[in-house]
Amino acid sequence: MRVKAILIFVFTAFLLVALTGCDDLPQQQIDEANAALDAAKKAEADKYVPEKYNAAKQALDRAMAVVQEEESSTFSNFDEARNLLAEAKTAAEEAAKAVPAKKEGVKGEAEALLAQIPDAVKTTMDAWRRAPRGKGTREALQQYKAEIEQADAQQAEIKTAVENGDYLAARKDAQTVLKKLQSLQGELKR
Per-residue model confidence as pLDDT tens digits over 53-94: 999 999 999 999 999 998 888 888 999 999 999 999 999 999
If asked whether residues 117 and 169 sit together in one domain, one would say yes
The confidence score (pLDDT) of residue 13 equals 44
Query: Predicted confidence band at 7 (pLDDT cuts at 50, 70, 90)?
Result: very low
The confidence score (pLDDT) of residue 1 equals 59
pLDDT tens-digit series, residues 83-138:
999 999 999 999 999 999 999 999 999 999 999 999 999 999 999 999 888 777 88
Burial 92-115 (b: 16+ CB within 10 A, else e): bbbbbebbeebbeebbebbbebbe
Where does a domain end: 99, 134, 155? Answer: 99
Global pTM value: 0.76
If asked whether residues 82 and 128 sit together in one domain, one would say no
If asked whether residues 165 and 124 sit together in one domain, one would say yes
In a domain, 95, yes or no: yes
Domain residues for 94? Answer: 22-99
In a domain, 11, yes or no: no
If asked whether residues 109 and 139 sit together in one domain, one would say yes
Is pLDDT of 141 > 70? yes
If asked whether residues 113 and 86 sit together in one domain, one would say no
Task: Judge whether 188 and 144 are in contact, CB under 8 Å.
Answer: yes
Q: Which of 149, 22, 21, 36 is nearest to 89 (CA)?
A: 36
Distances (CA, A) of 132 to 91, 156, 172: 59, 31, 32
